[in-house]
C-alpha cells in the first residue's frame, strides 16, 4: 500500500475505518483508541516543530502525561509514534478487493478506488496540498529511519493484498506489482506538489498516470522504448 501523511487530528475517530455494521467498541477499547490518538498527536506536533531526531521519547511521554513504559506499550518504537496511522491503511487494498462488487475484477476495484482517492485529494494518493500534510511528508521523506519503517508497513500491505488475491505465487506476484504501482503514483504526485504545484494543477496528469499504471498492470509490460 502506498502510504502518505495524514493531517494530524485531535481525538477524532478514524474516518478511514471500514463502513457498515460493526460491533460497538467497549469502554476499554475507546479509551485505548483515544490514548493512541492523543499520544500520536502530541508526538507529531513536536516532531514537526523541532524535527524527528531532536525529540526524545521521554519528552513525548511527558507531553502526553504518561510514563515512558506506558508509551512503549502503545508504540513499540519512536518511529511508530509518527507512522502508526499508516497501520490503518495496511490492509486497505485487501479490503477494497474483498468488498468489490459482483462482476468487478480486483484490478478494476483498485483502479476505481485510487481514482476516487485522487478526486477527493486523499493524502494516500499523494495528491494533497494541505500544508499540514506537506509538512508531514517532508518530515517523513527527510528522515531515513521513518522511510525504513514505512517500507515495513508497505511490505505488510503487500502481504495482505496477496492473501486477498488468493496467495500462492500468482497472488504474491500480482500484489507486489500493484503495491509498487500505487507507491510510484503517490510519490510522483507528492514530488510535484512539494515542488510548488497545487493539487488541482497536478490532478489531470495524476489521473492520466494512474490510467497508464493500471493499463500496464492489466496487460503486462510491453516492449520498452529501446526494444527492436
pLDDT at 221: 57
pLDDT at 24: 64
pLDDT at 23: 52
> Distance between CA 65 and CA 63 in Å, rounded?
5
pLDDT tens readout for residues 96-126: 999 999 999 999 999 999 999 999 999 989 9
Mean pLDDT of all residues in the chain?
84
What is the pTM for the complete model shown? 0.76
Task: Give how far the C-alpha of residue 166 lies from the chain's centroid of Cα atoms, to the nearest Å.
Answer: 23
pLDDT at 185: 97
Residue numbers of the chain with a pLDDT score lower than 50: 1-22, 223-228
Contacts of 191-199 with CB under 8 Å at 24 or more apart are 193/126, 193/127, 193/128, 193/129, 193/134, 194/134, 194/137, 194/138, 198/129, 199/121, 199/127, 199/128, 199/129
**Are the C-beta atoms of residues 216 and 131 closer than 8 Å to each other?**
no
**Are the C-beta atoms of residues 46 and 59 closer than 8 Å to each other?**
yes
Amino acid at each position: 500500500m502506498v502510504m502518505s501523511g495524514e493531517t494530524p487530528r485531535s481525538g477524532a475517530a478514524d474516518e478511514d475505518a471500514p463502513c457498515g455494521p460493526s460491533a460497538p467498541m467497549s469502554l476499554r477499547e475507546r479509551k485505548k483508541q483515544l490514548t493512541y490518538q492523543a499520544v500520536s498527536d502530541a508526538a507529531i506536533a513536536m516532531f514537526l516543530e523541532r524535527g524527528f531526531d531532536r525529540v526524545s521519547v521521554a519528552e513525548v511521554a511527558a507531553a502526553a502525561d504518561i510514563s515512558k513504559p506506558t508509551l512503549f506499550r502503545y508504540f513499540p518504537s519512536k518511529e511508530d509514534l509518527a507512522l502508526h496511522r499508516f497501520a490503518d491503511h495496511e490492509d486497505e487494498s485487501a479490503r477494497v478487493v474483498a468488498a468489490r462488487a459482483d462482476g468487478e475484477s480486483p484490478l478494476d476495484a483498485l483502479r476505481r478506488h485510487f481514482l476516487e482517492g485522487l478526486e477527493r485529494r486523499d493524502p494516500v494518493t499523494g495528491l494533497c496540498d494541505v500544508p499540514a500534510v506537506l509538512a508531514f511528508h517532508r518530515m517523513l521523506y527527510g528522515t531515513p529511519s521513518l522511510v525504513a519503517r514505512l517500507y515495513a508497513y508497505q511490505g505488510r500491505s503487500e502481504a495482505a493484498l496477496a492473501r486477498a488475491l488468493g496467495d500462492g505465487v500468482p497472488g504474491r506476484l500480482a500484489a507486489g506489482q500493484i503495491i509498487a504501482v500505487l507507491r510510484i503514483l503517490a510519490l510522483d504526485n507528492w514530488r510535484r506538489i512539494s515542488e510548488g504545484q497545487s493539487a488541482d494543477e497536478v490532478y489531470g496528469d495524476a489521473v492520466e498516470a494512474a490510467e497508464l499504471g493500471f493499463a500496464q498492470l492489466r496487460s503486462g509490460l510491453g516492449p520498452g522504448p529501446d526494444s527492436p
